[in-house]
Structure 1
């Protein structure tokens, strides 16, 4: 599509603490409340708010900064939030009963980003493993685990960070029955590692970079090293909102798509880092956010620096990012079976059909002149272990975890 004109920032009193709503974009119209967690990939919602794009579409939007993914889940289900920046895996985790009441529906309207998460290890691992290299990880865990129980943290059971962590450990040959995996909200990861509550974690940026800057951990690999251009965050909506205010949801999606296009212009990422780094949003130094937004990783340990050239955090990528693929939902649920969250395979395709509003996204994309990818339900390969997954035969697709 052609260049989208983004409006200048409208004024807003964004002085909220966790769990409180921030100022809306427009006084007119019925309010729409969208939740975020303090992570770099909340940027599409924040930019749409701060640059006046929601207002451009006549929407009265509030951004609500939440304390944890469990808060986001609960408020989406009750309708306290109409929509949210959300872990792609969460709707499937909740619906299947992994992390909520089975059968509870939250719907995926569109994707917000690919890539940009990471595995951070404590400095105790420095010298025992190499950057992007799994060799030595199992031996290090075994040796260190002989002295104490090792603990790794993720952000939500069945969410993206949980699955990246478990997949990474399995690919490294780590027996997950011999380590402890706990749930910690993203903004609390660094503080918990600092006091020795965990030996490694998987979380979104900027918290991996913050850990490096505070010299309490190092980046072992980024999530794009696990699976290049993987699905990460989604715009997830309350079912009643999607059904009762369909046209408003379409306008929200159009505004978010415009913000996503703006974000993928690297010339805008410095400004984006300054905006989302504010206390009312991520509350982290803009320079630490900006570096990894540009793919420039200061890794910590003895690794120096590394630049991701085409697989840094992407928000649009000519529409390849934003299309919600049912195949990816099937893959997530397949991992729940693999890692013991589910005893039996669920009805993969039926659940993906129910929770992913693919037709609505296609309608919005067509109206905006954005191409809709045609690759859904085709086999794809996970980079870290070269495993190919066929969403049409999911029972045969998950590799056996190495012991």
Structure 2
């Protein structure tokens, strides 16, 4: 009997003991934290969608849940209260909120990286067909005056102080139109086309695919693309909840690594057909795949029988050999200078201090270097396409004084 126990039972007992030890160890390990990332249904939410669908989040060991949100105001609120850990977000939103334009002054939203450049536009309603052409800025003021003769002229953007708001105001200024002389309202991106269809506005500034949808449906036409306003401008960013950014840095870094991989994947042009197909799904952008694909490929059907504009090196980019993703302090300072320029705030903020508070450039540099991604030089003077005045991020005052409208 003893020989039987030694020969057969002892190994079984040891095996059972090992299983118990392994099971207890597994039970002791906490489940992987679910990271919730928000997005608005726009083509430039693509890095989040691709990182999820192509397995890049999984590759870097993060369990990410994507959450489709209704408006930028909802994104703002959910980032601030922690319902979202981070989100696809307007690059300038954290500055708008912090300065009190688009939220409670002093509220902090952290910018981890930029997700894309270019790929937004200003659409005018069919009321302007025949009055002004594509990129024809000289006729815009007269066209607005003509339309105003029989109704108020209202433009829509997506968030006060957001990128679309600033593209709209820059365009108006370049056309010689004071932004205070027209109505400017806030409409969530997916609702732009429906609101123009029922004549709630005469123009809007928004991201794709909604400009393309308006053109293909004959509701309006693309007057100018945002890359015509400022080539390779910062657009959307990964913006994080402050507590998540400060206490879960390893998770945030892994999310960023996955998104950088997604951005690289998206800039392989042969991948963009697949990207458009994924984005067109109802749980993401929910728009015609042909419209998403065309503008991703740099092909802009203008509308109003004005043909197609082909963008060759300044279509929507997500990586561009590392140029896209560096979250520059100078960009944040530029947007705050716009707030002063257009009278959205009355007192000059501490530009550099706020930019350093909200932009996690050190964290991005760490992540980028670990992946061999070049980090772009910052704080150099630059000029946008429609302006003659050079912007110096180290001294914004002369630019503001010279460009106020």
Shared fold (TM-score, shorter chain, > 0.5): yes
Q: What TM-score results when the alignment is normalised by the length of structure 2?
A: 0.91
* Pairs within 5 Å for 1:82-231: 82-231=85-234
1:12-47 CA distance string (max 9 Å, x none) = xxxxxxxxxxxxxxx951010000000000000110
- Contact residue 389 and residue 403 of structure 2 kept, 8 A: no
Matches of 1:173 and 1:395 in 2, distance apart?
21
Partner of 1:389: 391
> Which residue does 1:337 correspond to in 2?
340
The aligned counterpart of 1:243 is 246
CA positional deviation for 1:57: 1.0
Task: Please report how far the alpha carbon of residue 175 of structure 1 lies from its aligned counterpart in structure 2 after TM superposition.
Answer: 2.2
Q: Deviations over 1:196-246 (max 9, x none)?
A: 000000000000000011100000010000000000000000010011100
Matched with 2:366 is 363
**Which residue does 2:305 correspond to in 1?**
302
Measure the CA separation in 1 of the matches of 2:226 and 2:238.
20
- How far apart, CA to CA, are the structure 2 residues paired with 1:400 and 1:276? 39
What CA distance in whole angstroms lies between the structure 2 residues aligned with 1:148 and 1:206?
A: 28
Please report the TM-score for the alignment, with normalisation by the length of structure 1: 0.92
SS in 1 for 2:286: coil
Deviation above 4 Å: which 4+ runs of structure 1?
Answer: none
Cα pair 2:110 2:359 within 8 Å, conserved: yes
| 1:59 counterpart residue number | 62
Partner of 2:15: none
* Structure 2 match to 1:379: 381
* Contact 1:189–1:201 (Cα < 8 Å) also in 2: yes
Residue 400 of structure 1 deviates from its aligned partner by 2.9
For 1:69, the equivalent position in structure 2 comes to 72
Structure 1 residue 341: Cα displacement: 1.0
The 3-state SS of whatever aligns with 1:77 is helix
* Cα distance in structure 1, aligned partners of 2:324 and 2:155: 29
SS in 2 for 1:397: helix
How far the C-alpha of 1:386 sits from its partner, in A, is 3.0
Q: Is residue 206–residue 288 contact of structure 1 (8 Å, CA) maintained in 2?
A: yes
The aligned residue for residue 285 of structure 2 is 282
Instruction: Verify the 8 A CA contact 1:173 1:401 in the aligned structure 2.
Output: no
State whether residues 171 and 401 of structure 1, in contact with CA within 8 Å, keep that contact through their aligned partners in structure 2: no
Supply the distance in 2 between the matched residues of 1:324 and 1:190 (Cα, whole angstroms). Answer: 31
Structure 1 residue 401 displacement after superposition: 4.3
**Which structure 1 residue ranges, 5 or more long, are not aligned?**
1-26
Out of 48, 66, 81, the position equivalent to 1:45 is 48
Aligned equivalent of 1:232, options 232, 235, 244: 235
Distance 1:387 1:144 in 2: 31
SS of residue paired to 1:210: helix
Q: What is the distance in 2 between the residues matched to 1:157 and 1:190?
A: 19
Task: Report SS of the residue matched to 1:120.
Answer: strand
Contact 1:28 1:59 in 2 (8 A): no
Q: Which of residues 352, 357, 361 in structure 2 aligns to 1:354?
A: 357
Task: Determine the C-alpha separation between the residues in 2 that align with 1:57 and 1:385.
Answer: 42
Report if aligned partners of 1:126, 1:302 keep a CA contact under 8 Å in 2: no
Are the structure 2 counterparts of residues 58 and 121 from structure 1 closer, same or farther at C-alpha, using a change threshold of 3 Å? same
Counterpart of 1:20 in structure 2 is none
SS of residue in 2 equivalent to 1:136: helix
- CA deviation string 1:269-325 (max 9, x = no partner): 000000011000000011110000000111111310110000000000111000000
